[in-house]
Structure 1
């Protein structure tokens, strides 16, 4: 969506809010004063200042002239395809050439294939290569802390004593049909 749409929506929301305050704020505060609410006089003074600001005349909106579009000699949306990728499609004689071409073409990002964003889903990540931050060294980060504190340095230890078979007790083998003590 364009900036003008968001600016217009913000302006309409501000006007609606201003109108609501002008209609409902003072009656609500005067009603609270009748019910003897605490510190309502200070709030009434602030509300009168706010309503005074709202009643000031607004500046007239300056119309923005529409952009003048210059015709472009090359009106294609896509950048030219590399010859080696085109050769996958046109130079192959065996089956599956179209699939290989599409896979090779799909490996490239949209900003490598198109001149400008054609759909709104490309807004996020468009020209992301230019703003990439170098990866941190994970050995200095959280991974090293987890490795050093959570995992054991030596191999698995023996099971604790309370995991072993109870001394002197009978061991039984049970299934869903019977239970035999041995």
Structure 2
């Protein structure tokens, strides 16, 4: 369907509404005033103003001139392919050169291969590198507090000196009744 069809249908709908208001609005308001259904003088004044604006002549629309398209010599949609990637396709004599070329070409993002978006599928993610935000710490900083206070900064550390066994000297076995030194 063309734009002209929708514009014409919209205009017909507006005309139909205007005719209905001109035929039915004022008689309905005057009948309500006679029945004294409610205070309706303000509504009648608004309806008369509306009908005056509907009866004003409408200016005819001016046609929009068509734009001339200027063609250029280079109307390619793709950016030029790098020589090292083209060499995979044309310079290789091995079997599977086309697959190597396609894999190398597929590694690049669409904005590196094309000048502008060609399909609506590319709207999401186009130039995503420029708008990417740095990752931030989640859980409102609680993970950073745990990481900095609870976990060790380096790997497993040796036991503290007070955990080690006594070096040299005599040891004794003591009980609550006697203490014998060896």
TM-score (norm 2): 0.53
Supply the RMSD in Å over aligned alpha carbons.
4.1
CA distance 1:55–1:29, change in 2 (3 Å): closer
Long gaps (5+) in structure 2: 144-149, 151-182
Q: How many residues align?
A: 141
**Counterparts of 2:104 and 2:141 in 1: how far apart (Å)?**
39
Contact persistence 1:29–1:44 (CA under 8 A): yes
Q: Give the alignment partner of residue 135 of structure 1, picking from 133, 136, 155.
A: 133
Q: 1:65-80 maps to which residues of 2 (within 5 A)?
A: 65-80=65-80
| Deviates most, 104-113 or 35-44 | 35-44
Whole-Å separation in 2 of the counterparts to 1:103 and 1:51: 69
CA 11–96 in structure 1, closer or farther in 2 if over 3 Å, else same: same
Q: Which runs of 5+ in 1 are unaligned?
A: 149-153, 155-182
Question: Shift in Å at residue 125 of structure 1?
Answer: 5.0
Deviating above 4 A after TM superposition, structure 1's stretches of 4 or more consecutive aligned residues are 8-14
Structure 2 Cα separation of the partners of residues 101 and 57 of structure 1: 67
Larger radius of gyration: 2
- Superimposed CA distance per residue, residues 59-115 of structure 1 (whole angstroms, 9 cap, x where no aligned partner): 332222221222311233322111122122223344433233223323334343234
